[in-house]
Amino acid sequence: MDTSQNTALLRALTELPGPLPARGVIHVVIRHTDRFTVVGNDLAQHPGLSTAAVCFAVRIQSLPQGTEVGIKALAARFPEGEKLIAAALRELEAHGYLQRARTRLPNGRIVTRTVFCNQPAALLRPRAAAAPPQLPPAARPITTHAQASEPTVKPEASPEPDPQPEPTPDPPAPLAAPPQAAAPPFVRLVPPPTAPKPPRPPLPRPRELTPELERISTALLSDLRHHAPQFTLSEEHVRELVPGVAAWLERDAHPDTIRHTLTINAPEPVNYPYQFVKHRLTVLLPPPLPGAHDLTPPPARRNPVTPFQTCDGCERAFRAPTPGHCRDCRNEVAYAQAAA
């Protein structure tokens, strides 16, 4: 069956006129006469839509009016899962191809109505004045041979006196068309699934990879398979992950703590142990331990207290930063000097 189909396709390829390209796709176009749907290149080659979204848009466009196109209905019709279908419909809704609105029926029931447009960009362009509808050939009036052969008799018009010419008023000025409001810019709130993802953080590295740290890190990574068989790492992967484990050891992390962190709550099975260990070494890196001076509490702030002093004249106690006379003795000396 496959051989006959390939032979027929190759035979059709030899019948194509003109020189064929040396590489790339070659189209064998057979004109459709029934059961076909016209799909524009703006949808088929849309740079912002994923392949799944384009495929579901073509499938929805090929369905007749009134067909259920919800997530459950599409999942029952096609082999794709509900998550993939929901993601594709969200993409089409974000780019304007699809719109879902809740509508209340006359009987009070609320239903979800789905509207699909094959060219959403055309809705934003200003529309021209609607032309009068053209009747199909079957609906046009047909002039029979009898009607065409009958002469048309026009009634004779009685002569009337020439009317006096009246002044023709000036034609009214055409009304200016109201300015069309510009369409609001499309703002994407959620990035599409095809948007570039931020780069992953690099594997941590120690300040200095000493031979002792390298030895302990290599032994710890090689011994992971004894505690969890799914964490069997190759020799090359062990060499690449040694700096990450050394960074943990440099921050005073115990080897048992590192082993427990790397293997606890792991999925079953671990398909890519190297990527899994690298991810945990990167995102779960503990902070460096604080020094002794970091743990010392700051000194308590106290209000300065003025000490007591003994007056040199009357030996009375008073508060002053330096020894000397009290206020009364200073006043007496000031009065004596003023009287002199």
Decide: pTM greater than 0.85: no
Is the pLDDT at 175 greater than 60? The verdict is no
Q: What is the pLDDT of residue 30?
A: 75
- Band (pLDDT 50/70/90 cuts) for residue 187 is low
Q: What are phi and psi of 164, to 5 degrees?
A: -70, 135
Average pLDDT for 229-236: 92
Q: What is the pLDDT of residue 304?
A: 78
114-126 pLDDT, tens digit per residue, is 888 888 887 777 6
Phi-psi region of 4 (alpha: psi -120 to 50; beta: other; left: phi over 0): alpha
Is the pLDDT at 18 greater than 90? The verdict is no
Asked if residues 249 and 255 have their Cβ atoms less than 8 Å apart, the reply is yes
C-alpha 327/C-alpha 159 separation (Å) is 136
Query: Angle at Cα 39 formed by Cα 34 and Cα 43, nearest 5°?
Result: 165
Which helix (DSSP H) or strand (DSSP E) does residue 101 occupy? strand 98-104
C-alpha 250/C-alpha 184 separation (Å) is 55
Is the pLDDT at 75 greater than 80? The verdict is yes
Q: Within 13 Å and on the Cβ side, how many CA atoms surround 157?
A: 3
Q: Are strands 308-310 and 98-104 parallel, antiparallel or unpaired?
A: unpaired
